[in-house]
A and B are shown apart, each in its own frame.
Chain A
Amino acid sequence: MSTLGRTGESFEARARARTAGMDWTLLGLTLAVSFFGIYMVRAATESDVSGDPGFFFTRQLAYTLVGLVCMFFILRLDLEWLSRYVWTIYAILVASVGAVLVLGASARGSTRWIDLGPVRVQPSELGKVVIAFVIAVVVMERLKSMDPARLTLMVLALALLPAIIVFLQPDLGTSLVYAAIALAILWVAGQPITHFAAIGAVLLVGVALVLYLLPAVGLNVLQPYQVDRLTSFVDSGSDRSQAGYQLEQSKVAIGSGGALGKGPSGATQTINDFLPEHHTDFIFAVVAEMFGFMGGGLLIAAYFILIWRAIVIMRLAATELERLVAAGITAMLAFEVFVNIGMNVGIMPITGIPLPFMSYGGSHTLTNLVAVGVLLRIGMRGRAAQAGAV
């Protein structure tokens, strides 16, 4: 073999070492759905900005590319090392979501962004991955030393502090994601089932209080539009609010798509703007209108495989910390997929949760790609550890 061959070998070896244990299915699906999402954003928004049919498309493409770059850096991130700074990270999270409340830019009645010169970031989005990490660290460090009930309370408190701040922005959907992440980590950590029963009971009472009892005595915890959104899925036809209209138009878009869809140019619900938020929260309805049951069903199947790969990675995880982080991220993705598509098809309340890898949005796209990056790294380390053990 020649010198050329040797250098070739060395490159191949290096590449193989770098990608050892890579979950190609997860990576491939993430890329496929992300680029399909970019295509859908373009198809849905071509006539939205006059004179610039690619306005949302170029931005979403840029967000995705930035997200992919971050994802590949994350592949080298050592979570054990990072866990030394857990409280600093938590403080930054709380401070940044708090800052949004104070100085944030607002859109449609809620304040979710901080202006950083040319870009606007939504700290609460990145906070989803951060909170998964922080809670995983806290649980891992205390699981064997702390009383289980006190640990559960502590975790809930840690999750609820930023969640409440986010809720006040107001962004109900994201705060619900925080709660889902915290609960999933507690569950995977093996906390007693009675804790979840108690939390469930408190939640029920809380929902009853917020939606029915407190308003009855004149205390409105939720904004009127939030109440509409939460209750309109029960009977959207009778609801004349914005949320009821959105849901009806979403159902009309999906229902009219039929088995094979109306194609990108025939999707009048989307193109003619009857379906609001068609590039963000309701992009699934666009897929279903353009590509029918076939397209919508295939997309749901892709999400199922994606979540299944995340669960496989969680099982492979080399350390308890990584297992818990993987659990939080898996729960986040699964929760978002189910709640978003559920609200598109009218079986879940409208809570403003975007669809991972599909909905338009910089912070949200970045967050999901970073989350996948974390999962991929956990998977690689897990496979390496297994190989080492054998």
Chain B
Amino acid sequence: MASFAGVALVLLAVLVIRLWFLQVVSNQGYQQRAEANRLRTIITEAPRGAITDRNGKALVTSKEVLNLVALPQELTSDAGTRTLRHLSRALGHPAGYFQAKVAKAQKVSPFEPVVLQQDAPPALQAYVQERQAQLPGIELQAAYQREYPNGTLAAHILGYTGPIPVESITTYREQGYLGDETVGRAGVEGEYERYLRGIAGREQVEVNAQGDIVGRGVISQSAPRPGETLRLSIDLDVQGALEKALKAQVVSSGTSTGAAGVALDPKTGAVLAMASYPTYQPDVFESGTPREVRRVLTSPGRPLLNRSIGGEYPAASTFKAITASAALAAGLYRPGELIEAPGSVVLYKTRFRGFNNEAFGPIALPKALEVSSDTFFYALGDRSYRMRGWPLQEWSQKYGFGSPTGLDLAEGESAGLVPDLAYKRQSCNRKVDPINCSWRPGDSINMSIGQGNVLVTPLQMATAYAAIANGGKVITPTLGNAVVDTDGRVLRDLISARASRALGLSASNLDVIKQGLLLAANGNEGTATPVFGNLPPAFKVAGKTGTAENPSKIDHAWYVGYAPADDPKIVVAVVVERGGQGANSAAPAVCEAMAADLKFDSSRCGTAAKTN
């Protein structure tokens, strides 16, 4: 009989040991799980900060919308599946549409609400509210959505917002994101995410198993903090004028595939306008139909490409100012020297032709820039080939070519290309043409007029001419002006601390070049005089045309210039792909942008020029 008591003792001792294990050994883990059960965090969305132009005019704002969301925990059963299928059909989707959406989102964060449809229209809101009882686990949740009052204006600058991509979710979580936020994905939305993001409010409450708030209620609380306003250096009027002008040039040319332009304040590097055509609707990824999204992604015009920083074009004659700088600085050309500029020259047994084979006789550097003489610059190219060192490459780099400018829009900025011996060695075909693996006289000669392999972006070109305009300072172009609070008080200056460096060209040498650029826009034989020659004296322009040969057979048109010539306030570079001669399509767009900034009558801008 005592054995019965023994058995009972052993069995109950087993229970006590197990109890010891659960309550004393594993206590901490279970305590955390009990806390996780009873505590729930309620998130209150905070709006993302607005983006404005330099004068505080709105470019992007946030509006409050109601999203249709699914709560995945409440939709796991068969009934949940039925609810989702029913809702999919009721809203005109295939039956499995929402279920697939929920399943996909759950892979990232299994318990977060899944947005089924953003910005539910009033009819849908009414539908859901009336059927709340039949749609368990389906809710309307307040959220904020980006709104673009100016449509596509400045789309490439602004970029767009979207959900955190699955592959970078851990990086975001380390920065305090939950994982289901909408974040800046491109443009300044992405670049200045840390200021623009709103910090959602969190309220920790005690709940019961049914999810009702019980007992002690709110345990801890932090208020939602709206994002700060980003003020850009962009001027809405200049941006609008430039975009309009680019579009008009592309459309009227009939052959053009796109255009890009950048306007800078040469003194500060502030980007006054930056445009790329074709463009896209910035909210297409947030609220566009699948067809619209597909078109943006696959259109041959590549509307997502920001051509002003990511488009690489042959520099063409706009590069002559750089060649001139190199020749002056290296002593290859002394101011006042006359060089014979025939229609074509034979150098190293090869004939190099000037544009239209036009002959100008013996001319000095300013005149050569005015008429854009190729043979004059061939001579300078030949001189630079003959001397020791690499003055063309060196000065290209001093002006900022061959590397990104450091714009506060790092993503998508191209370096361009300054060809040198290393480039030739690496790009040539040793078997077919081994001689081409060295730097040859023709390379220097072609480079002197910006052809050959020189590739630049419009932003690089504007930055280079800004250095000429401001007396020799290579600035870092900047889109952000300041982070401001809702009252417009500056919280953080984004522009004055930006780096700049000295170009290193003497003032007298710069003056020779400036003189030539002024003549090119105003002289009797100036290539762009038909466009700029009629401007009021206070707004005289200095600049250079370019006609870039390229594989497409139809030339790209360039113009880069600054105004007013004696005290430049704006420098604009424009390239029109397959736009023909520079003065014809690019220069008028530059003139339009300058008119918008300097407030002169744009009807004073001429529409056509003759050459190179």
Contact = CB atoms under 8 A, between A and B. Distances in A.
Contact of B34 (A269, A292, A338, A342): A269
A39 interface: no
B208 A256 contact: no
Interface of B: 1, 4-5, 8-9, 11-12, 14-16, 18-20, 22-24, 26-27, 29-31, 33-34, 37-38, 206-210, 214-215
Contact of B12 (A256, A303, A330): A303
A238 to B, nearest CB: 15
A258 B32 CA distance: 12
Given A271-B215, A272-B37, A252 B30 contact: yes
Interface string A290-316: 001100110011011001100100110
Given A272-B209, A288-B23, A251 B4 contact: no
Q: Sorted from nearest, which 10 A-B pairs have the closest CB atoms?
A: A255-B30, A256-B34, A272-B208, A273-B209, A268-B38, A293-B23, A256-B30, A255-B22, A256-B31, A258-B27
A345 B22 contact: yes
Contacts of B11: 334, 338
B27 A272 contact: no
A272 to B, nearest CB: 4
B16 A297 contact: yes
Contacts of B15: 300, 338, 341-342, 345, 347
7 contacts: A255-B33, A258-B23, A271-B208, A272-B215, A293-B19, A308-B8, A314-B1
Nearest to B20: A293
A7 B18 CA distance: 56
B37 A255 contact: no
B28 to A, nearest CB: 9
Contacts of B33: 252, 255-256
Contacts of B12: 300-301, 303-304, 307, 337-338
A303 B14 CA distance: 14
Given A269-B37, A272-B38, 17 more contacts: A251-B22, A253-B34, A255-B27, A256-B31, A269-B38, A271-B208, A271-B215, A272-B208, A272-B215, A273-B210, A288-B19, A297-B20, A303-B12, A307-B5, A311-B5, A345-B15, A346-B18
A311 B27 contact: no
Interface in A242-285: 249, 251-259, 268-269, 271-274
A304 B23 contact: no
A257 B38 contact: no
B1 A315 contact: yes
B8 A273 contact: no
Contact of B8 (A251, A297, A334): A334
A345 B13 CA distance: 13
A181 to B, nearest CB: 14
Interface string A313-353: 01100000000000000100010011001100111000000
Contacts of A301: 12
Contacts of A259: 23-24, 27
Nearest to B33: A252
Give the secondary structure class of A's interface. Answer: helix
A300 B19 contact: yes
Most chain A CB within 10 A, of B1, B20, B34, B210, is at B34
Contacts of B26: 255
A258 B34 contact: no
A330 B7 CA distance: 12
A332 to B, nearest CB: 13
A71 to B, nearest CB: 22
Nearest to B27: A258
B29 A255 contact: yes
A296 B18 contact: no
A251 B215 CA distance: 23
Given A272-B207, A274-B209, A347 B8 contact: no
B209 A268 contact: no
B17 to A, nearest CB: 10
Contacts of A300: 12, 15-16, 19
B14 to A, nearest CB: 7
A274 B24 contact: no
A311 B37 CA distance: 43
A269 B37 CA distance: 8
A251 B206 CA distance: 20
B214 A272 contact: yes
B251 to A, nearest CB: 61
B420 to A, nearest CB: 64
Given A274-B37, A345-B18, A255 B31 contact: yes
A342 B10 CA distance: 13
B163 to A, nearest CB: 28
Contacts of A307: 5, 8, 12
Contact of B23 (A271, A296, A314, A330): A296
A336 to B, nearest CB: 12
Nearest to B2: A311
Given A268-B206, A311-B8, A258 B31 contact: yes
A256 B27 contact: yes
Which of B9, B209, B215 has most A Cβ within 10 Å?
Answer: B209
B18 A347 contact: yes
Contact of A268 (B14, B22, B34): B34
A345 B8 contact: no
Contacts of A253: 34
Nearest to A289: B34
A308 B12 CA distance: 12
Nearest to A265: B215
Contacts of A268: 34, 37-38, 206
